[in-house]
Every structure is written in structure tokens, then in C-alpha cells.
Amino acid sequence: MKKTIPVVGMACSACSAHVEKQLNSLEGVSSAAVSLAGRSALVEYDPEQISLEQMKEAVNSIGFDLVIEEDRSAVEIERQAFRLLRRKMICSWVFALLVMAISMGWVRLSRGSDDVTARNFANQVALLLSLGNMLYCGRQFYVNAWRQLRNRTASMDTLVAMSTLIAFLFSAFNTFFGDSVWGARGIEWHTYFDASVMIITFVLTGRVLEERAKNATADSIRTLMGMQPKTARLVSTSSTSSISSTSSISSSSSTSSSSSTSSAPSAPSASTTDVPISTISYGDLLEVRAGERLPVDGDVWEATSFMTEDGAYVDESMISGEPTPVLKRRGSKVLAGTVLQQGTLRFRARQTGEQTAIARIIRMVQEAQGSKAPVQRVVDKIAMIFVPCVLGLSLLTFLVWWVAGGNASLPHAILSAVAVLVIACPCAMGLATPTALMVGIGKAAEKNILIKDAAALENMRNVDAMVIDKTGTLTIPNRNIDFTRASELPLEERETLKPFAAEAVSMLRERGVEVYMMSGDNDEAARYWAEKAGISHYQSQVKPQDKEDLVCRLQKEGHRVAMVGDGINDSQALAAADVSIAMGQGTDVAMDVAQVTLMGTDLRRIPDAIALSRRTVGMIHQNLFWAFIYNIVCIPLAAGVLRIFGIDFQITPMWASALMACSSVSVVLNSLRLKFMK
């Protein structure tokens, strides 16, 4: 069983890596992929071996939480957490400004007649303000760091907790013992409460901005969810025909559109009641009026409008991508989330809840956004060792400056170590890949391209050969053919080329992709349609095995191959291809095997998907480059390496926290540029 479970409490890539490691260590869990940007875990598990409650308990033990309860909303939990985070950020800025005013001498606090007494009093006030800031605004850093320490793990919270505690404790020591310990030895001493407060303030500010930006990456999911009505209009009748009698018409796709309306049973007189969508059951009779979205999938019982007496037009563009409304008559299938354009429509519920088409699409997009691209797994391994390495570098920085300068350089050694702890940012690395993937996969969903997993999106950019099935994929069979005379008909009367098919082939060739058409039809027909579509390579009279053989041969020649099909006979080749693409109107088998599903008939979505893949992976590489460069450049600057060469420049802890926050936000904002890709 595969399930996407919301995760609460993650702040950096080390957090998501620890949750993922914990879940994967549980018996009964086949695989778990945790997305920091998506704040979710995609878990494949055996319900007979492990329950969701056991997973939750295991994740709770390392300081995080899974939202598995039906009465708990992950969205509401995130909203409450964001409101609390924003409140703490505002409060932290108040503390920070007060401490800065005291530390910088903007406000003089006098208690006594001499400067020493006044300075000590000011330091004591700054100490109390800093302590209040740590206990309220920064409390989660210390709680999480303690939990992780008990489980022998570390994350960004560990770095923040250690750096602020060191700065605070050193300053508190100096406040009470500075004159007796340092002053007696002729060493000038200072307090650094402002650094402790500003670290927390900047980190909280960065997280608020980061959360806002991450929320924007999930717009596509929220848009899809917004297409699901919360209530339905239930029809209550005094003499409703039995469900079994209506089932026969719903399953009969051969119902003639020209059937006389008089032969269909008339709709019973009825009253309607608005009910929660969760209460709808199979076979319930529902009513939808002009401009409303259909609440569940079903079969039309009765449809009337001013344009036609025995039918009504439904806008299915959100499912198929086709702008032309579809005429629905008695027996036609209708889908949740589609919009009735005018008139009134009554239908029997057939698929409800998680079984509706829109729910399956949402689930597919969520799982894809929660899955991991191959490059992300490398980053996760780096994140697991990154924090321990930073702790080691911080200790080394402290020892080098202390040994080199003796006790007189101890304050500088401590500040340098704190700056290294603060400026190191695994968040930027952890967000580099998933934020770009979330935006890319969401953008694809908006264009009616459903991508099952991140690996497919990453692999698609390398496709240079495409095998495409003819009938049903490249062409549409003409309806109402007299099959007894099929062999006598011209080719163009048996089927038609899909709109924009030739344009799609031309676009693929411009992107460096060679197209190979495969057909079970005779050679004359295959050649005719290949020429019509602008395809140079084709094979006729092929069997399913031949399609798979071509895919394998092209792969052996060094090509990255995509297979496009719509039928059961394409499933072998789809499974063998590097990237498998199914048409939305195809069979369930083809769509189950395929990594990518195109809703509608517009084949131009295939080159669009390849272009989106290349842009998304390019964005991932940009993000990773800047995330690594940031750490490579900033950690030595925080450690004070330039001072060795006589350059008096070093990043202080306060500015280190500001730069760290900016690095995470910049990665997310860079990924959001994909939303505006043409």
C-alpha cells in the first residue's frame, strides 16, 4: 500500500533525511521518501506488518510528527504553525531592537554613579531580554536539538541552539565575572547578547519568508483541490427506480445519442437536499445546475438545457484539456470537478471520495511532488553528514584562534566558532531539488501533463528517440464505419490524424528527438499516416513484441527512449522505455504502466513536457550550484580565513544569520521562476 502522509516539524534537509531514515528502518515499510518542500512522506508499506500509528510513534520519538488522524487537518496545522512562527518572529524583533539599543549605546541605562556599574546594569538587562527571547521565540530550537541529541542526530536546529547558547553563556559569564577574570589580566572583554538575539531573529525571519515561498510552490495542488466541491445536492424521490435498473444504462457506452427521449423513463418528482460530499454513496441520485461543479463521478440519468432537450454541455477542460464542451446525454459518464455550462443535470453516483478521477489526479500529483529525483538522494546523503562536519569545523576554528592568540583571543575564537555554526546552511541544499520539482510537476499538471514521479521528470530531458503508436495515439479511428466494407474505404475515411500531431512531431525534431511510428496496420496505411505526420521512420504490421524490440534496440544504440501509447498492446514497450507516456483516453493498463499521462488529445504536450523537464532540471542544477557555492565561500569567511592573509574582514554571527536566512529564501524564489515559464 502506498500513502502520502503529512509531516510536521521539519525545518531543513537534515530533518527530512532523519524522518526518512527512521521510516525506512521500520519493519513493514518497503520504501519511504520524505519531501521537505512538500512537508510530506510518500510511504509504501504492508498494513498487515505495520500500522500508521506505529509509524507515527517512531517519528514522534525523533521530534517530528505524522498527521494520520481524520479529524486533524495538515493544512490547518500548518496554518496554525505559521501564525505562531510569525508571532514569534515579530516578538523576536522587539527583543532584538531592545537588546541592540542597549548594546550599541542607543539607550543609556544608568544605575549608580560610575560607568562600570552602569555597564553591568545594562548587561544584566540585556541578559534578561536575551533569555526571554530564547525561552519564548527560540524555544523550538532547543527542544528539537535536545530530542535529536538523545537520538544521536543533528539538524539546523542543533546549529542554531549551540551557537546562541555559546554566545549567551559566554556573555553571561562576562557580565558577572568579566572584570575579575579578564580585566585583572588586562584583557578587554565584551558581551554578545545582541548576536544571540539576532541569530534567532534572522533565522525566524528566514523561515517565515521561506514558508510563504514554499506555500506558493503548492499552488497547483490547492487549485486541483479547489475543484472538488464540499457539498452535493441529493435528490430524494418518492418513487425512485431501483439502482440496479439504472446500472445497466450507466455501463452501456453504446447508448445511441439519437435515442428517443420518450423511451427513457421520466425523472421522478423529487426534492433536493444539500449534503456533505462524504455522505454520498454509490447509486445516489444527484443534481447539478448551470455553473456548478459535479461533486462525484457518475452516469447521467437526465440532462436538459435550452440548447437541447435531451442533453446538456459539460466543460471537461480541467480533465481533458480540451476547450470544447462535451454533450452529455442519458447514460454518458460525467466526472467530479467538471462544470455544467447550462441547464440541469441529474446523475447516479458511481465513484466517490478517493475513487473519483480528480481525486486520483490529485493523489498522482502529490505522490510525484513527494517523490525524489536521483540527484536529491545524493544531496540527502550529504545533508546527513553536513551538520556533524560543521560542528567539527566550528570546533577546529575555535581551537586554531585560541591556540594562535592565547587567552587574549578567546572572545574572538568563540565568535568565529559561533559564526561558522550559524552561517552553515543545509536548508538551501535540501530545498534546491524538491522546490524546483514541486513547481515543475505542478506546472505540468496545469498543462494537463500528469507526471507520476520525479525520476520521470528528470529522465525526460535526455530523451532523443521516441516510439509512438499509430492508432489511438497519433490518429483517431473514424466512427460509424461499416467494418464489412473497411478494406474498400480510402485510408483517410478509416481514421484521421489528431489535431496538431504534425506540429508536435516538428517540435520534437526541433528539440533533437527522432520519432519512430509503429503500426499494426498494412504498409500502405502506415506509410500514408507517417508522411501525414512528418515521420521518417515507421514500421507496419507490428505486434506488441516488435514495439518492445524497437525500444530495446534503440537503447542498445545509446538512445534515451520514450514510448507513447494508449492500449494494452503498448504496455510491454511502455514498461521497457526510459520514459513511458500514455494518453489519458487510453486503457487503464497503459496508464498504470506509464510514468507520464497526457490528458486530452493534444500531442504538443509531449514536446512541452520535454521542455519543462529540461528547464526544471536546469533550475535544480542552478539551485544546487548556488547552495554549495554559498557554503564553500561563506564558511571560510565566517571562520576568519582572510585575517591570515592580513585582510581585516570577517563575517560576524549576526550577519551570518542574515546570510543564512537569505540563502534558503533565494533558492525557493529561484524555483518559483518556473511558474512563469512559457
Q: What are the catalytic residues?
A: 469
Beta bridge pairs of residue 95: none
3-state secondary structure at position 465: strand
3-state secondary structure at position 318: helix
Query: Chain centroid to CA 33: how far?
Result: 12
CA torsion through residues 434, 440, 442, 448, sign: negative
CA nearest to 671, candidates 632, 629, 615 = 615
Q: Are 222 and 676 in contact (CB under 8 A)?
A: no
Q: Are 465 and 560 in contact (CB under 8 A)?
A: yes
3-state secondary structure at position 86: helix
Calpha distance 451→463 (Å, rounded) = 15
The amino acid occupying position 96 is: A
CA geometry: angle 570, 572, 575, nearest 5 deg: 105
Q: Are 460 and 374 in contact (CB under 8 A)?
A: no
In the numeric block, the cell 514554499 is attached to: 214
CA dihedral 39, 45, 47, 49 (to 10 degrees): -120
Q: Are 209 and 86 in contact (CB under 8 A)?
A: no
In the numeric block, the cell 523550538 is attached to: 140
Give backbone dihedrals phi and psi of 46, rounded to 5 degrees, phi first.
-105, 110
CA contacts within 13 A on the Cβ side of 85:
20
Q: What is residue 330's DSSP assignment?
A: T
Calpha distance 365→446 (Å, rounded) = 11
Q: Are 197 and 130 in contact (CB under 8 A)?
A: yes
* Burial class of residue 173 (count of CB atoms within 10 Å of its CB; 0-12, 13-18, 19+): middle
The amino acid occupying position 224 is: L
CA nearest to 302, candidates 279, 273, 270 = 270
The amino acid occupying position 487 is: S
Beta bridge pairs of residue 33: 42
Kindly write down the DSSP assignment for every residue of 32-77, as one continuous string. Answer: EEEETTTTEEEEEE-TTT--HHHHHHHHHTTT-EE---TT--HHHH
Tally of residues, the chain: 678
The amino acid occupying position 595 is: Q
Over the Cα atoms of the chain, what is R_g?
Answer: 32
Give backbone dihedrals phi and psi of 360, rounded to 5 degrees, phi first.
-65, -40
Q: Describe the strand order of the beta sheet including 2-8 as a list of residue ranges.
A: 29-35, 40-45, 2-8, 65-66
CA contacts within 13 A on the Cβ side of 454:
26
Q: What is residue 269's DSSP assignment?
A: P
Give backbone dihedrals phi and psi of 519, rounded to 5 degrees, phi first.
-145, 145
